[in-house]
Amino acid sequence: MPIKWSAIKVSEAMDMVEEFIKEADLPLFQAKIVATEARKIANLPGYMDDRLCRLIGDIERIDNTKESIKAVRNAIPEGAIEAEQERGKHGTTQLLI
């Protein structure tokens, strides 16, 4: 049974999301380094260290976003993109109603 939504558009959207995530990778990596170094500040109270640890954990969660992108791609039915591309080669027809 053919799907009624565009697998191609979903795939293209995930391509765009991946590009934005890639652009954020380096700044997030640098932010993690700075936060990690901040934990080494002399006489840092435990409550500040806890907050810095949480910040570092939040930065590391970018991997969850990458996994979510993969999950979206894996949810596209196998062959759906190819089938949609094949239908597109033959053009579209309008309903005569």
Q: Which amino acid is at 94?
A: Q
Cβ neighbours of residue 10 closer than 8 Å, sequence gap 6 or more? 72, 76
Contact 35, 7 (CB under 8 A): no
Domain ranges of the chain: 7-89
**Whole-model pTM over 0.75:** no
Q: Compute the distance between CA of residue 36 and CA of residue 61 in angstroms, rounded to an integer.
A: 15
pLDDT per residue as tens digits for the range 67-78: 999 999 999 999
Weakest mean pLDDT among 9-18, 44-53, 85-94: 85-94
pLDDT of the residue at 4? 87
